[in-house]
């Protein structure tokens, strides 16, 4: 989530491609305080707890930005996003318990590191639709091995075709 580039794009795409689907909720998880911790085995030594932090209260600013995007699309009276602050390995269960209506068609992982990618990927499996897209911002990337390792352990990197945009080397996605 961090500065919210991706969530802003997803909000715009929803406005363009599914303007009337007010049930297509976009939910973003972040500490907005950087990495809570870094795995000694599966992430590189150079990354530390607190890396990628943002200024205090940034999530409120981001929520306003997303709200502006929603206001420019149909049905602005229904709020269609939620930002969940905290360690996602803990907040994900609370969110899913509170929202049993959840069916996930797109999960975009950009934690960069192993533990939250692995744990959140495991937790969302029962909520994915067939054909859901699971995307990773750093797949097959030397500086960020954790996302790939998490995928390998949870779903296997040999069970799915992994696709890439020809314009972006680091990110990749698979169809579940």
Ligand X SMILES: C[S@@+](CC[C@H](N)C(=O)[O-])C[C@H]1O[C@@H](n2cnc3c(N)ncnc32)[C@H](O)[C@@H]1O
- The site for ligand X (CB under 6 A) is made up of 1-6, 29-31, 34-36, 52, 87-89, 110-113, 116
Task: Give whichever of 22 and 106 is closer to ligand X, judged by the CB atom.
Answer: 106
**114-124 helix and 88-98 helix, angle to the nearest 10 degrees:** 20
Task: Give whichever of 22 and 125 is closer to ligand X, judged by the CB atom.
Answer: 125
Q: What DSSP assignment string belongs to 76-131?
A: TTS--EEEEES-HHHHHHHHHHH-TT--EEEEEE---SHHHHHHHHHHHGGGEEEE
Residue 133 and residue 173 in contact, taking contact as beta carbons nearer than 8 Å = yes
Task: Give whichever of 15 and 146 is closer to ligand X, judged by the CB atom.
Answer: 146
**At closest approach, how far in Å is the CB of 159 from ligand X?**
25
**At closest approach, how far in Å is the CB of 59 from ligand X?**
10
**Which of 135, 63, 82 has the alpha carbon at shortest distance from 105?**
135
**At closest approach, how far in Å is the CB of 5 from ligand X?**
3
Task: Give whichever of 23 and 94 is closer to ligand X, judged by the CB atom.
Answer: 94
**At closest approach, how far in Å is the CB of 4 from ligand X?**
5
Q: What is the dihedral of CA 102, 74, 79, 95, to 10 degrees?
A: 20
């Amino acid at each position: 989530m961090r500065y919210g580039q991706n969530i802003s794009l997803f909000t715009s795409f929803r406005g363009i491609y599914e303007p009337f689907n007010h049930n297509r909720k976009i939910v973003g998880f972040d500490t907005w305080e950087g990495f809570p911790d870094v795995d000694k085995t599966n992430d590189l030594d150079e990354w530390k707890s607190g890396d990628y932090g943002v200024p205090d209260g940034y999530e409120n600013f981001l929520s306003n930005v997303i709200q502006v995007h929603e206001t420019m699309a149909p049905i602005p009276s229904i709020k269609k996003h939620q930002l969940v602050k905290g360690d996602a390995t803990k907040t994900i269960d609370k969110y899913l318990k509170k929202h049993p209506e959840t069916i996930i068609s797109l999960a975009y992982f950009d934690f960069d590191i192993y533990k939250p990618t692995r744990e959140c990927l495991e937790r969302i499996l029962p909520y994915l639709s067939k054909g859901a897209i699971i995307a990773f911002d750093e797949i097959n990337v030397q500086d960020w091995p954790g996302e790939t390792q998490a995928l390998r352990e949870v779903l296997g990197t040999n069970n799915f075709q992994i696709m890439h945009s020809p314009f972006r080397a680091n990110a990749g996605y698979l169809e579940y």
